[in-house]
Amino acid sequence: MGGKSEPAKSESMATKPDLLNTSFFSFKSLKLKTKQQELLLRISILGLVYILAFIARLFSVLRYESMIHEFDPYFNYRTTLFLTEKGFYEFWNWFDSESWYPLGRIIGGTLYPGLMVTAALIYWTLRFLRFFVHIREVCVLTAPFFASNTTLVAYFFGKELWDTGAGLVAAVLIAICPGYISRSVAGSYDNEAVAIFALLLTFYLFVKAVNTGSLAWALASAFGYFYMVSAWGGYVFIINLVPLYVLVLLITGRYSMRLYIAYNCMYILGMLLAMQIRFVGFQHVQSGEHMGAMGVFLLMQVFYFLDWVKYQLNDTKLFQTFLRITVTSAILVGGVAVGVGTASGYISPWTGRFYSLLDPTYAKDHIPIIASVSEHQPTAWSSFMFDYHILLFLFPAGLYFCFKRLTDATIFIVMYGLTSLYFAGVMVRLILVATPAVCLISAIAVSATIKNLTSLLRTKQKVSQTGSTKGAGSSKASSKVTLDQSQPFQKNGAIALLVGVFYLLSRYAIHCTWVTAEAYSSPSIVLAARGAHGNRIIFDDYREAYYWLRQNTATDAKIMSWWDYGYQITAMGNRTVIVDNNTWNNTHIATVGRAMSSYEDEAYDIMRSLDVNYVLVVFGGVTGYSSDDINKFLWMVRIGGGVFPVIKEPDYLVNGEFRVDKGASPKMLNCLMYKLCYYRFGELTTEYGKPPGYDRARGVEIGNKDIKLEHLEEAYTTSNWIVRIYRVKPPTNRL
Amino acid sequence: MAPRSDSQTLATGSDENESSIDPIFHILRIIPFSFLRPPRLRLKLPSFTLPSPMTVFSLILLTYFLVVSGFVYDVIVEPPGIGSTQDPITGSVRPVVFMSGRVNGQYIIEGLSSGFMFVLGGIGIIMLDLALDKNRAKSVKASYATAGVSSIVIAYVMSMLFIRIKIPGYLR
């Protein structure tokens, strides 16, 4: 930059010796060319967006402390800790006897290692550079770091789809979009933190490969797919979307050599690399969910073969016949292969988790565990609005622009957007997968609209320029006059509309910041409420209970609780649990559910058979905390009743209604969960003006206040009564 | 180019009698059709043309409207079309349009009306783009522009109103 304008500087110094140029450093050398100005602007915008994406996710770290949130991240944290302490081979071959008590769990073969390996690599890199940070800090900040990287990938993807303006807008939109922030806030150390980055990277590399037809980009996309497979079970979305996209391109007549190279390379190499992950194993050739990709792969070969034959034969009639034979036989052979594979059981059918996406009513009727998770509920309009705001308006407009200018790349983003939005409608959790597509398409709409409006602003200058330089002929003069009459109106209108667009985008930014601060930055393990004078009260009961367990129980003690808390108990309490969040064994969970819903004697038999030493329940009656075990109780009954028909849900309901007050069913008033939650609660006054034993979470006075426990005794209750731990007494001596 | 053949009328089939290499055709020529005479029909195999992009786009817009209105939620959870609450003093039943208490819950009508607002906003932006198309009369362009701007304004204002009613603590 300095070199090019040097001759100008020396010239100006020689010809115009005035005040400005007397200094050694002339201001003329600072004036950049337009291209360089644009580059500087772009790089500074991307840098600011990178920083913005990181700091927008730090609310909970600033408000509470740097800790891991929720339930699943505690398992990830524990495995990362193990990886950094013991090394990769121990991690890869780890059999954990501390969870799922009598069964144990093969952790090395049942997890997606991408997240842990990434965090461990960052940790080792920092240690190599002599920054001795604790692994917990690295885990907490992994998600914001990868969110920043996602904005960069979104910029390049937008550039590939439309132009650099759309890329920049996409980067900004995705940096603060609440749909993405909800699962990538600092402390949310979960697979999605890395997986969304891997997803967008794979898609970008694949689209680049289809656009350029280069083998290098296709190889890169295969490695991106490998990273995605190692990171998250949602890779099934990629392995079904990409073949669907290829199929659509074939149907719309866009078959080309570039597509052939890109898809073949990505599919074969991606499949081979994916088999390196033990949890995935041979699913790419055995599971029904992956067969679509194989079918499209074979179809591409048929297309290539027919193209080659057409090139060799010069006779069109002969070729038509040959075409009909080949297509018929290919379809027949494919159908027979699929039939034989499915019938013989080699190709396994779609698993329940993914089948419930295609048929949303399936989980409600058949698999209560999947139906019970709150994140798996279908989406209402307000969740969409909450997570997307302005983008819901811009999405259809962006689709329109994509349809106006159909290229291979825009067809891809349209398909990604539509399929992911449908799945987001089926399950709230999948709004996260739809977010990059929605942001990219909205960015196209914003960029195209702003370009239209600014071109309106510019036309007047262009016309006046041509008028002055060319010298107006009579026709030109008259047209210039008529144009001039509408120009100021158009120009003012365009300026007003531009102001409107910027107003909408600023409202989007305000909304996103508010949503992030209020709704998505709570660590779930620490609860906060507003006190009587508006001050903030913190409930740290969970960690209090887990540390009590860690310090006051025998090291081989076994804890029975509902599966929600399993990961946290093993990570923070360092004790063996019976069931945890992995939910891989439905019968084991049903056994625990049965124990919780039976009378104390039957439950005691079950607990003795499982060697349980302590029982942990979560109770929200004193604080009004509504996600406690009594509110989850019906799911325990349903899951337990699904395996043991002796547990019947109507026994616990009165007229179809779930009650805990005097009118509750007798089975409910005497089951183990009720007794453990409300033991000694009848003596406690929770709210001014209400009788003792008033449950603030349900809003009623409890029915059975006089509870006596025969086989258990109370071991610990936290300061706000949220977590209650009971010791299982050994059997009485026989006389 | 998709090497998929389109229709071929039955009439041209007879031309290929001598030169066809299709084994199935030859088998069929011998087994039933040496003694059976096929009737003369004027049938054409249905030809398969791809719809235009804008047709596909309008179908997609309809699907978007359904998804964003929470149609899947309606099918699975089966909420009532509109909620009702009973006035504790007079005992009369008053309708409640917006399900309050949680973000992820809705009644059917509130979902459909919000979905309509979103689609209206999207159409407003599309009309703005149509207004800037050079090949139209000025009056048509002006009306497109006003329709577009008013659609966007109405859609945005109504959506903000809906979300404020639904979530009482919004932006506070």
The beta-strand segments (E) located in B19-104 are 83-86, 93-96
Which of A252, A397, A456 is opposite residue B125, by nearest beta carbon? Answer: A397
Q: Is residue A23 part of a domain?
A: no
Place of tokens 């990362």: A80
**C-beta of residue A597 within 8 angstroms of C-beta of residue A633:** yes
Give B-chain residues touching A421 at CB under 8 angstroms.
64, 67-68
pLDDT in tens, B64-103: 999 999 999 998 888 998 888 888 888 889 898 998 878 8
Give A-chain residues touching B114 at CB under 8 angstroms.
381-382, 385
Q: Is residue A460 part of a domain?
A: no
> d(Cα A355, Cα A112) in Å, to the nearest integer?
21
Q: Is residue A441 part of a domain?
A: no
> Is residue B14 scored above 80 in pLDDT?
no
DSSP state of A727: E
Q: The pTM is what?
A: 0.86
Chain A segment 481-510 residues within 8 A of B by beta carbon are: 486, 493, 497, 500, 504, 510
Q: Is residue A1 part of a domain?
A: no
**C-beta of residue A142 within 8 angstroms of C-beta of residue A186:** no
Across the interface, whether the CB atoms of A307 and B71 are under 8 A apart is answered: no
**C-beta of residue A391 within 8 angstroms of C-beta of residue A504:** no
> d(Cα A448, Cα A440) in Å, to the nearest integer?
12
Residue A77, helix vs strand vs coil = helix
Q: Is the minimum CB–CB distance between A511 and chain B shorter than 8 Å?
A: yes
The mean of the pLDDT values for chain A is 87
**C-beta of residue A167 within 8 angstroms of C-beta of residue A440:** no
> d(Cα A435, Cα A131) in Å, to the nearest integer?
34
Which residues on neighbouring strands pair with residue A559, listed in sequence order?
A577, A614
Domains held by chain A: number: 2
Q: Is the minimum CB–CB distance between B168 and chain A shorter than 8 Å?
A: no
The DSSP-derived string for B92-139 is -EEEE-S--S-SS---HHHHHHHHHHHHHHHHHHHHHHHHT-TTS-HH
Across the interface, whether the CB atoms of B3 and A378 are under 8 A apart is answered: no
Q: Which of A260, A372, A381, A429 to mutate to test the interface with B (most CBs of B within 10 A)?
A: A381
Element (H, E) at A410: helix A408-426
Half-sphere exposure of A84 (CA within 13 A, CB side): 23
The DSSP-derived string for A151-219 is HHHHHHHHHHHT-HHHHHHHHHHHHH-HHHHTTTSTT--SHHHHHHHHHHHHHHHHHHHHHH--HHHHH
The C-alpha of A440 sits at a distance from chain B's nearest C-alpha, in angstroms, of 15
Chain A segment 319-338 residues within 8 A of B by beta carbon are: 320-325, 327
Q: Is the minimum CB–CB distance between B64 and chain A shorter than 8 Å?
A: yes
Q: Is residue A25 part of a domain?
A: no
The C-alpha of B69 sits at a distance from chain A's nearest C-alpha, in angstroms, of 5
CA angle at A574 for the pair A572 and A576, rounded to the nearest 5°: 125
> Is residue A320 scored above 60 in pLDDT?
yes
- The residue extents of the domains of chain B are 55-164
Half-sphere exposure of A104 (CA within 13 A, CB side): 7
Buried b (16+ CB within 10 A) or exposed e, B146-170: ebbbebbeebbebbbebbeebbeee
The C-alpha of B39 sits at a distance from chain A's nearest C-alpha, in angstroms, of 23
> Is residue A568 scored above 50 in pLDDT?
yes
Across the interface, whether the CB atoms of B1 and A253 are under 8 A apart is answered: yes
> d(Cα A566, Cα A579) in Å, to the nearest integer?
6
Helix intervals (H) in A427-473: 431-470
Across the interface, whether the CB atoms of A396 and B61 are under 8 A apart is answered: yes
**C-beta of residue A606 within 8 angstroms of C-beta of residue A598:** yes
Q: Is residue A560 part of a domain?
A: yes
The ipTM of this complex is: 0.82
Which of A250, A364, A486 is opposite residue B2, by nearest beta carbon? Answer: A250
Tell which of A330, A357, A384 closes a domain.
Answer: A357
> d(Cα B170, Cα B100) in Å, to the nearest integer?
13
Across the interface, whether the CB atoms of B156 and A428 are under 8 A apart is answered: no
The C-alpha of A394 sits at a distance from chain B's nearest C-alpha, in angstroms, of 6
Least confident range of A118-132, A538-552, B46-60: B46-60
CA-to-CA separations, A721 to A90, A620, A678, A716, in angstroms, rounded? 40, 7, 10, 9
Which of A321, A380, A456 is opposite residue B73, by nearest beta carbon? Answer: A380
Query: What band does A479 get if pLDDT is binned at 50, 70 and 90?
Result: very low
Q: Is residue A338 part of a domain?
A: no
Q: Is residue A323 part of a domain?
A: no
Q: Which pLDDT value is given to residue B11?
A: 39
> d(Cα A433, Cα A438) in Å, to the nearest integer?
10
The C-alpha of B110 sits at a distance from chain A's nearest C-alpha, in angstroms, of 8
> Is residue A126 scored above 50 in pLDDT?
yes
Give A-chain residues touching B106 at CB under 8 angstroms.
380-382
Residue A616, helix vs strand vs coil = strand
pLDDT in tens, A187-245: 999 999 899 999 999 999 999 999 999 999 999 999 999 999 999 999 999 999 999 99
> Is residue A476 scored above 70 in pLDDT?
no
> d(Cα A594, Cα A651) in Å, to the nearest integer?
13
A150 or B15, which is more confident? A150
pLDDT in tens, A173-194: 999 999 999 999 999 999 998 9
Beta strand A558-560 pairing with A614-618: parallel
Q: Which of B77, B125, B158 to mutate to test the interface with A (most CBs of A within 10 A)?
A: B125
User: What average pLDDT does range B99-127 have in this prediction?
Assistant: 92
Which of A307, A381, A395 is opposite residue B3, by nearest beta carbon? Answer: A307
Q: Is the minimum CB–CB distance between B7 and chain A shorter than 8 Å?
A: no
Across the interface, whether the CB atoms of A250 and B149 are under 8 A apart is answered: no
> Is residue A359 scored above 90 in pLDDT?
no
Which of A323, A399, A400 is opposite residue B5, by nearest beta carbon? Answer: A323
Element (H, E) at A723: strand A723-728
User: What average pLDDT does range A420-432 have in this prediction?
Assistant: 92
Q: Which pLDDT value is given to residue A486?
A: 63
- Phi and psi at residue A538, in whole multiples of 5°? -105, 130
Tell which of A312, A330, A357 closes a domain.
Answer: A357
Place of tokens 């050994």: A730
B59 or A732, which is more confident? B59
Across the interface, whether the CB atoms of B2 and A317 are under 8 A apart is answered: no
Q: Which pLDDT value is given to residue B47?
A: 74
The C-alpha of A516 sits at a distance from chain B's nearest C-alpha, in angstroms, of 11
The C-alpha of A302 sits at a distance from chain B's nearest C-alpha, in angstroms, of 10
> Is residue B112 scored above 90 in pLDDT?
yes
CA-to-CA separations, A95 to A79, A103, A120, B144, in angstroms, rounded? 12, 11, 20, 67
- % of chain B residues with pLDDT over 90: 35
**C-beta of residue A720 within 8 angstroms of C-beta of residue A628:** no
Q: Is the minimum CB–CB distance between B151 and chain A shorter than 8 Å?
A: no
Give B-chain residues touching A324 at CB under 8 angstroms.
5, 22
DSSP state of A576: E
> d(Cα A129, Cα A279) in Å, to the nearest integer?
33
Nearest to A486 by CA among B141, B163, B4: B141
CB contacts < 8 A, A to B, total: 171
- Phi and psi at residue A596, in whole multiples of 5°? -70, -30
For A238, the domain range is 50-287+348-357
Q: Which pLDDT value is given to residue B7?
A: 38
Q: Which pLDDT value is given to residue A18?
A: 54
> d(Cα B172, Cα B167) in Å, to the nearest integer?
11
